[in-house]
């Protein structure tokens, strides 16, 4: 059974921030391609929720966060078995200080 993929408000806000940044600094086409790539990269999770590695910086959280990497971004997610879905919690730019990841909810 394929799981649904749910994007948290934080993850959607991060996508919007990424889009706006690349739209301004590069081009609208570049921004669209990047966001499309990030979203498409998550589609494989619906049938293979454990393909991502465990996120070492978030091991202390009960959700069991995992991540996929797309270009410079970590797509942080977890399997919500109670709701039968994959929850994308964050899209984190790996060029930032990794400790910043621990501060997000």
pTM of the model: 0.93
| Mean pLDDT, all residues of the chain | 94
- What are the tokens at 9? 């408000």
With H, G, I as helix, E, B as strand and everything else as coil, classify residue 5: strand
Q: For residues 95 and 47, give the distance between their C-alpha atoms in angstroms, rounded to a whole number.
A: 29
Across the beta sheet with 85-93, the strand order is 4-7, 85-93, 73-80, 66-70, 53-54
pLDDT of residue 1: 65
One-character DSSP codes across 26-41: T-HHHHHHHHHHHHHH
Kindly state the average pLDDT of the residues 55-72. 95
pLDDT of residue 105: 59
Assigned CATH class of 4-94? alpha beta
- What are the tokens at 32? 């669209």
Q: Domain locations in the chain?
A: 4-94
Kindly state the average pLDDT of the residues 15-21. 98
């Amino acid at each position: 059974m394929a799981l649904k993929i749910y994007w948290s408000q934080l993850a959607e806000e991060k996508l919007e921030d990424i889009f706006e940044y690349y739209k301004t600094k590069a081009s609208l086409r570049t921004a669209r391609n990047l966001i499309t790539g990030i979203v498409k990269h998550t589609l494989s999770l619906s049938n293979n929720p454990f393909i991502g590695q465990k996120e070492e910086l978030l091991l202390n959280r009960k959700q069991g966060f995992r991540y996929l990497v797309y270009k410079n971004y970590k797509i942080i997610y977890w399997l919500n078995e109670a709701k039968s879905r994959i929850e994308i919690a964050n899209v984190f730019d790996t060029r930032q200080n990794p400790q910043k990841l621990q501060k997000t909810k």
